[in-house]
Structures are given as structure tokens and as C-alpha cells.
Amino acid sequence: MSEKQRSRPMWTCPQCGRPFANVHQSHACARHTLAEHLEGKPASIIALYRQLEAVIQSMGPVIVVPEKTRIAFQVRMSFAAVMLKHRWIDGHIVLARRVESPRFRRIESISPRNHVHAFRLRDLEEIDAELTAWIAEAYLVGEQRHLRSSVEEATS
């Protein structure tokens, strides 16, 4: 994908207001709030979420998208999502490569350059330099920098 394509204006769904990189992108059209996800959760889980969100937000502009079952994080495309439970946070990041690590509960390869890495967080200490580096890498996927054209790859 060229820089021109990456800078193309986002399309906004007229029903729910969510922005997308592609016109008429398929999605569950609904409006949910972050408060819905935080309601009834223990203070420790809310603190864990807030710290993780701060790390994600530190990567650059991020759209936080509360959905029915998860909270997604998006630049041009979603690159991370979390589900808040009562004793932990389940989440995933999308990387352009497979990263084999015991920290990932499973890895689902969607395409050659889109690999969903699932994780579980129970403690603030787990939001460390390693996870932060993976989030930074996933942010680039959110910007769609992993979709370089074959011409760009041949010249770099």
C-alpha cells in the first residue's frame, strides 16, 4: 500500500459514526461506551486497563472503539482489542509476522501479513518493555504500514 493510499480519508459509517479505511466496511453497527465495559469491574482490572490504554495511546493517535464484547484500538484499521474480565484482561494484537512466545495464548494467521496474537494480563508488571514493543509494532499494522506494495518492497 502506498503512502497516498494510507493517507486516503477514512470513511465514517453514517449509522454508528465509526471510521474505517475502506468504504462500506462490514462491521457490527452499534454504539457502546467505555463505561459499559468498566461497570462492575474490580479496581485492579480498571487500573490494568487504564495502564494498557495509556501505553497504546502513547504510540500516536488512536481511536478507542467500545464494541459489544470488546474494546478495540484503531488507527486506520484495528490493531489491538481487549475484553475485561473480573480477574484478568484477555486481549490481542495484530502483527505483520508471527511471534512465537509463551506470553501468547494462541496465534491466528489471517493472511501472510496479519497474525492475531492473543494474550492474558493479570498484573500491571506484565505491561513491560516486551509487550510495549509488540504494541508499537501492532500500531504500525494499524497504520497499514505493513501493506507496502511489491514496488515499494523492491526499492527499499
Domain boundaries, the chain: 31-155
What is the pLDDT at residue 32?
Answer: 76
Model confidence at 153: pLDDT above 60: no
pTM (predicted TM-score): 0.78
How deeply is 26 buried, as exposed, middle or buried, from its count of CB atoms within 10 A (0-12, 13-18, 19+)?
exposed
* pLDDT tens digits for range 9-62: 766 767 666 666 666 566 566 677 899 999 999 999 999 999 999 999 999 999
What's the confidence (pLDDT) of residue 141? 93
Residue-wise pLDDT tens digits, 115-148: 999 999 999 999 999 999 999 999 999 988 876 5
Q: How many angstroms separate the CA atoms of 55 and 18, rounded? A: 22
SS3 call for 91: strand
- Asked if residue 91 lies in contact with residue 103, where contact means CB atoms within 8 angstroms, the answer is no
Looking at residue 23, what is its pLDDT? Answer: 61
For the segment 96-102, the average pLDDT, to the nearest whole number, is: 97
CB–CB of 22/5 below 8 Å?
no
Q: How confident is the model at residue 1 (pLDDT cuts 50, 70, 90)?
A: very low
Q: Where are the alpha helices (DSSP H) in 1-156?
A: 3-6, 34-38, 43-57, 129-142, 150-155
Average pLDDT on 73-102 reads: 96
pLDDT score for 150: 37
